[in-house]
Amino acid sequence: MGLKIRYQKRSHGVTWKSGYVYNFKYTAYENDPSPITIFLNEISGIHQNTGHQHRYIQCINLTYVPRKDRKRFIKTWKDQLQKTKSVKLTWNKVKSNFPYIQLGIRRYMTKPAYYIRNAREIPIEDWEKEVVGSLIKDFSKTIKRKLASRLKSMFAGKRK
């Protein structure tokens, strides 16, 4: 069995649809225990070459996106989604149309099931309110520092 990519998934009491905003509690968090995310896809199965098992969802965690870009992205994406309801938000679409969002892409493990709790879809009309409410949470500086540290060590000849 190869890897399967799904743009719609039913789990944790919610139907996850690509391009829609969700909030949940994540117990295996590094920085953000309650992310506000835009669901991209679900990847499951066993990789044919490596034999590794994949069981995760990929999302854009808006708290890792710089504050100035969050509201702008939500407004732009909301307008696109309302014009055509069946739009899939994919990695290629993010890279080409919204390159400033790439730092916010995260993977969340779906097994064991207790990793994700209290998942809920945020209605489209509440997206901007939720994003403005999340402006106090900003992990974008943390990510930029980590990247700068890696680049510095790479140019200095050290590996981390």
- The pTM (predicted TM-score) of the whole model is 0.81
Number of helices and strands in the chain (H, E): 4, 8
- State pLDDT tens for residues 68-114: 788 888 888 888 888 876 677 777 888 788 887 877 889 999 989 89
Question: What's the pLDDT band for 144 if we cut at 50, 70, 90?
Answer: low
- Please list the residues that pair with 30 across neighbouring strands: none
39 φ, ψ (degrees, to nearest 5): -70, 130
Q: Which value, in Å, is the radius of gyration of the alpha carbons in the chain?
A: 16
The C-alpha atoms of residue 119 and residue 159 are separated, in whole angstroms, by 38
pLDDT score for 121: 94
What pLDDT digit, counting tens, does each position of 40-71 carry? 999 999 998 898 999 999 999 988 888 778 88
In angstroms, the first-to-last Cα distance of the chain is 34
pLDDT interval class at 134 (50, 70, 90): low
